[in-house]
Chains A and B, each alone.
Chain A
């Protein structure tokens, strides 16, 4: 093999390598990357829905602006995941002490058929007093879930009984309603509490 053909081979090999790397980048990080499946929630100010709080007052996403917020979805007929989430959150709020006065904490039901305003009021009363319970019509629940990029689905279990599959993450927003981060279902307290503390401190720093 002469010098010339070695150079040609070298050029072809490094060219092929460059193309492979470029295609890899394009598909993983570049414009060709797939859309992430779990999308981020919209800013609260851009969401559109109207629900009732546990006192029956009409509220919506803009009612939360001005304070940092923690929002999650569930239903009161849920025997395992939802009471666990509400107890976990109550524990985090206990850890934060007086600071939670500056935080909106909202539990939105994905089961408006059964979870009326009165039922939500009774249910949240068993957990931390900062936790509000929002419910409404199915249409408005669908609009709320869309804003948070939450999915929910009714699953018939036995005859007339049903359960709800739903996104169990907890969403954190700053006082301006911008999405900050997510606390995953059952995330340990040592990770969850600092995340909440961060949106609370950010709100303090931005207060003139």
Chain B
């Protein structure tokens, strides 16, 4: 690990950021996050976004946390040659330096299982992305209508 400059040290103390994340996950930018409103709390929800790694090191997304759902996880929908769709946990997501990973309808998505409260259109919910380097990225995800097709609605 590189020795800390006094400024970086002051910065990390001031904002309580773990210093290691200045190298990897701190360079992750989340764009265009959105989710669909839910009907009640019995069905799982899904959230979408693009993760961009602006840094020089690969980063690995290892998990999610949110007060909205007891079991948030990255899942992937796939449709085979016969048109049959299935969904499975996607495991860890590696984002090489300079590249981005899209969580979008019909592919990777943040699967929000065991909703603790209803996802209401017009509100947002906090989502924490956990990375392999121990760093986290916190975002607020806007909740759009049930029939939304993308971040624009």
A122 touches B83 (CB 8 A): no
Report the tally of A-B residue pairs with Cβ distances under 8 A: 88
**What mask results when residues 33 to 52 of chain B are scored 1 for a CB within 8 Å of chain A, else 0?**
00010010011111000000
Interface set of B (CB-CB < 8 Å, partner A): 36, 39, 42-46, 71, 75, 77, 79, 81-87, 105-106, 109, 111-113, 145-149
B82 touches A91 (CB 8 A): no
Given contacts A38-B83, A123-B39, A126-B147, 5 further A-B contacts (CB under 8 A): A83-B46, A87-B148, A169-B83, A182-B83, A185-B83
Q: How far is the CB of B73 from chain A (nearest CB, A)?
A: 10
Q: Report if A161 contacts B (CB, 8 A).
A: yes
B39 touches A80 (CB 8 A): no
Please give, as numbers and ranges, the residues of chain B lying within 8 Å of A190 by CB-CB distance: none
A80–B108 alpha-carbon span in the complex (Å): 9
Given contacts A79-B109, A80-B75, A91-B149, contact A168 B43 (CB under 8 A): no
Please give, as numbers and ranges, the residues of chain B lying within 8 Å of A126 by CB-CB distance: 39, 145-147
A38–B81 alpha-carbon span in the complex (Å): 9
B77 touches A81 (CB 8 A): yes
- Which chain B residue has the least Cβ–Cβ distance from A186? B106
- Which chain A residue has the least Cβ–Cβ distance from B86? A165
Given contacts A127-B147, A163-B87, A186-B106, contact A80 B82 (CB under 8 A): no
